[in-house]
Chains A and B, each alone.
Chain A
Amino acid sequence: MAKILLEMKNITKTFPGVKALDNVNLKVEEGEIHALVGENGAGKSTLMNVLSGIYPYGTYEGDIIYNGETCKFNTIKDSEGKGIVIIHQELALVPEMSIGENMYLGNERGSKSRIDWDTTYVEADKYLKMVGLSESSKVLVKEIGTGKQQLVEIAKALAKNAKLLILDEPTSSLNEEDSKALLDLMLGFKKQGMTMIIITHKLNEVSYVADKITVVRDGSTIETIDNAGHNIDEDRIIKGMVGREITNRFPKRENVKIGEINMEVSGWTVHHPLYPERVVVDNVSMNVRKGEVVGIYGLMGAGRTELAMSIFGQSYGILTAGSLKINGQEVKLKKTPTDAIKHKIAYVTEDRKGNGLVLSQSIKVNTSLANLDSLASKTVIDKDKEYLVAEDYREKLKIKTPSVEQLVGNLSGGNQQKVLLAKWMFTEPDILILDEPTRGIDVGAKYEIYCIINDLAAAGKSVIMISSELPEVLAMSDRIYIMNAAKIVGEMKASEATQENIMAAILKSGRGD
């Protein structure tokens, strides 16, 4: 048996009022890739924060034994000194600085008072090569894509002489191709003897890279599953995560009644708002019927969000051609979301924290926001009515919170997504465009969101669901459009669609450009 590099023994961490970790045990062998899985709020991030010294020694109970010695880390610097480096889910790069500057941020080369830029850039280039990036380290971070930025983060970690690399959801903002490249890079590091811990929601990735899988649930480690054969069944992991057998990850649609065409766009062409010569949506024609769930599948950057937002009152880009018909009538929306809302269109953003919710306000305020006028007479808000509306949606959508006065920023990702849905459902739309409605939320909450989508369709609404998760698109949609490089490159009935022919449609269309 290989040497145990890291052992976390009986770790208990309490926050005022909550036990975030309860007697957690984790053993990581040298040279393995160890996956940490669990629902949101299960305690994975807390555990890693304990390990890295973000929660200093003394604020938790239990021992961390690393490389045979008991560690008492007080700051991140302490753990990094030992070679334990975390790459956080949210990229921590400064866009306006060069790759090299970013890599040595807080770890500058040179003497105490002077930075040696030559060494910085030479060394940075060396590490960039190791992660397979050909960019010069003098390029600004904002000029490279998210996939490459993630690689820069890894290079940055390597530059700190990492022996144990912890990756927190490294692929959550990457498209499938970049994700695959990153996972292969991890396998390459493993061959060179690096030890890694990966936290991820994507179970196919777990099965692909991990040698062992530790499941965390409600602050405790439930089990460690061996995955030496890299062929573990995803349902087996899910069972551990949610504590029960999930027989069906996607709820069945009942009494599907698809009506006539509700919304139709044709020849829809949109240009980039800042670089008008760039076409982001190219001659797209599509429609959605009443009671239908239409999936739009495409990789990130295919133009899906741009299409959705341009339909939603031209809230993105410059529309240069195309027509929009609602209920058979051609409409010209003014360049404002207000007009789209009036025409019963709702756009549920993929970026709930960035442009979906007001985190500093209550559930109540967020729920009523897009249709506040309906609760007011002569601009005076009927606060009692507002409260009732919020309560109503809290019940309907099973938002877990003690009160609708709770700030949205305090909710978990899944509950935030439900509040976002509540906000748009309250505008009583006929057409809902859901952009990545289940991104970054756990299995249980996903299931509930799917149920809501089905209910909406059953109520005769038209739902457009944009997603980059193929199983989700396949299971939830009645019809699927495939988008690649700003164009619709395929349309198929869900009954005829398979992973293979969807990927084939994308490959056949070429990678664009």
Chain B
Amino acid sequence: MKKSASQILKDNTMLIVLVVVYLAFTLATRGSMFSPFNFNELVTQNAYVFILASGMLMCMLTGGNIDLSCGSLVCFLGAIGAYFMAIRGVAPGISIILMLIIGVIYGCILGYLVAYVNIPPWIATLAGYLAFRGLGTDILSSNSNTGSISVKSVEGFLKIFAGRLFPTKLNVLNIPCITVGIIAAVLVVLLNVTSRATKLKKGYEADSAGMMLGKSVLEAAVILLVAYKLALAGGIPTVLVWVAIVVLFYSFITEKTTIGRHFYVVGGNREAARLSGVNTKRIMFIAYLNMAIVTVITTWVVLARVQAANSTAGTNYEMDAISACVVGGVSAYGGAGRIVGMVIGATLIGVINLGMNLLSWDANWQKVIKGVVLLGAVAFDILSKRNAK
């Protein structure tokens, strides 16, 4: 089955929107958007969205369920982590594990309530949304006069989550970064070629050679561009490694494994899934336990970037994660959505944020524009799909 050009366009509307918006901002900022520094900003500023939205995607797959508590949990866990590391002087490694344990305990409780007590997720997580903000603020205000605990002194922690691999100075080409970029690009191309070859060998449908070549060239070009820009910005930010691990992991889970498939069918038709032998309650439990773990990783990254825990940390993160998913084509009713889409959605939101900041637009109007653009992007996607039918 060969895809027509218009079909390819329709399948990739959001990607095209992303490119257009990016180019528009690049023009408007006279190229500043395209600078190595801002490439780096785009990655580090939005790392939390990529990570958090991976977990949110899993929740949404099960039937449009969401987690409202993750933003407040970031605040609470951040406060605990900062308290241990900066005030009690606990080693970063142990503090990280403590945060993880607390997150897992919360995830188990939440998962149990959602899966086995049948409390609607948005209500179950609304409790955490309120409670964790309160708890976090309380820890901060009783341990600091400013209501904020700095972790600037905990260098080990910052290095792991907000440092760079083999750092170099700005505008000096970072060799390890470029090398990794080249390897990644070659791997992607090889993967495309071999997967098409095996498909052809077994006589399945496969993209045409030109199509595969075009896709490979584009993908490799994007990877090399990012690697080049980051190399000039001082090297690979460690946070990118974390994002890559999380995104690749969930992309593998959703596309290749039985448990990932179960998430989709539970969201598509829970009763049919149950009668086909899928343990639907276990899937719901895993979704929310997993969400809590992802939130812990987000907390590490955010705490290290801000270098302090404060009471506004994580505000609206749940909304950012949900928007990234929805803009990325994840169904608000469950059963459909891909990690790739979410990554595009999150990047689009990040580009809009960064672009507006660079143009130093009024903060209040930035919110208005963001809201309108989100709605417009999703409406455009839905309409173009409808016309496709």
Interface residues of A (CB under 8 A from B): 16, 312, 315, 336-338, 341, 347, 349, 354-361, 365, 369-370, 372-373, 376, 379-381, 383-384, 387, 403, 423
Contacts and interface: CB of A to CB of B under 8 A. Distances in A.
Across chains A and B, which 6 residue pairs bring their CB atoms closest together, nearest first? Answer: A358-B268, A355-B271, A370-B276, A338-B277, A358-B269, A379-B257
B269 A355 contact: yes
B272 to A, nearest CB: 5
A336 B265 contact: no
Contacts of A383: 256
A77 B205 CA distance: 48
B273 A358 contact: yes
Given A337-B274, A338-B279, A387-B204, A381 B269 contact: no
Nearest to A372: B258
A361 B264 contact: yes
B81 to A, nearest CB: 32
B361 to A, nearest CB: 39
B249 to A, nearest CB: 13
Interface in B190-237: 198-199, 202, 204-205
A347 B277 CA distance: 11
Contacts of A384: 198-199, 202, 204
A359 B335 CA distance: 10
Interface residues of B, number: 29
A315 B275 contact: yes
A357 B272 contact: yes
B261 A356 contact: no
B256 A315 contact: no
A355 B204 CA distance: 31
A379 B259 contact: yes
Contacts of B331: 360
Contact of A361 (B259, B268, B278, B279): B268
A341 B277 contact: yes
Contacts of B96: none
Given A372-B258, A381-B258, A384-B202, A336 B1 contact: no
A379 to B, nearest CB: 5
Contact of A369 (B1, B198, B199, B273): B273
A337 B271 CA distance: 11
B336 interface: yes
A312 B277 CA distance: 10
A369 B277 CA distance: 9
Contacts of B336: 360
B271 A354 contact: yes
30 contacts: A16-B389, A315-B275, A336-B277, A336-B279, A337-B275, A337-B277, A341-B276, A356-B272, A358-B264, A358-B265, A358-B268, A358-B272, A359-B268, A360-B331, A360-B335, A361-B268, A361-B335, A365-B265, A369-B272, A369-B278, A370-B276, A373-B258, A376-B257, A379-B257, A380-B256, A380-B257, A381-B257, A384-B198, A387-B204, A403-B1
Nearest to A375: B258
A16 B1 CA distance: 19
B261 A372 contact: yes
A365 B277 contact: no
Nearest to B256: A380
Contacts of B199: 384
A312 to B, nearest CB: 8
Contacts of B268: 358-361
Nearest to B266: A358
A380 B255 CA distance: 9
A434 to B, nearest CB: 14
Interface of B: 1, 198-199, 202, 204-205, 256-259, 261-262, 264-265, 268-269, 271-279, 331, 335-336, 389
A315 B265 CA distance: 18
Contact of A370 (B198, B202, B277): B277
A357 B269 CA distance: 7
A370 B258 CA distance: 11
Nearest to A409: B268
Most chain B beta carbons < 10 A, residue from A355, A357, A365, A373: A355
Nearest to A354: B271
Contacts of B202: 384
B264 to A, nearest CB: 7
Contacts of B257: 376, 379-381
Contacts of A372: 258, 261-262
A373 to B, nearest CB: 6
Contacts of B198: 384
Nearest to B199: A384
Nearest to B270: A355
Q: Which of A381, A387, A423 has the most CB of B within 10 A?
A: A381
A337 to B, nearest CB: 5
B332 to A, nearest CB: 13
A361 B274 CA distance: 16
A315 B274 contact: yes
Contacts of A341: 276-277
Nearest to A352: B272
A381 B273 CA distance: 17
Nearest to A315: B275
Contacts of B278: 369
Contacts of B205: 403
Contacts of A349: 275
Contacts of A338: 277, 279
Contact of B275 (A355, A373, A376, A380): A355
Contacts of A387: 204
B261 A381 contact: yes
B279 A423 contact: no
B215 to A, nearest CB: 19
Contacts of A381: 256-258, 261
Nearest to A378: B257
A144 B274 CA distance: 28
A377 to B, nearest CB: 10
Nearest to A355: B271
B113 to A, nearest CB: 21
A376 B54 CA distance: 24
A390 to B, nearest CB: 12
Contacts of B256: 380-381, 383
B53 to A, nearest CB: 21
Contacts of A360: 268-269, 331, 335-336
Contacts of A403: 1, 205
A337 B276 contact: yes
A265 B199 CA distance: 48
A383 B260 CA distance: 13
A383 B259 CA distance: 14
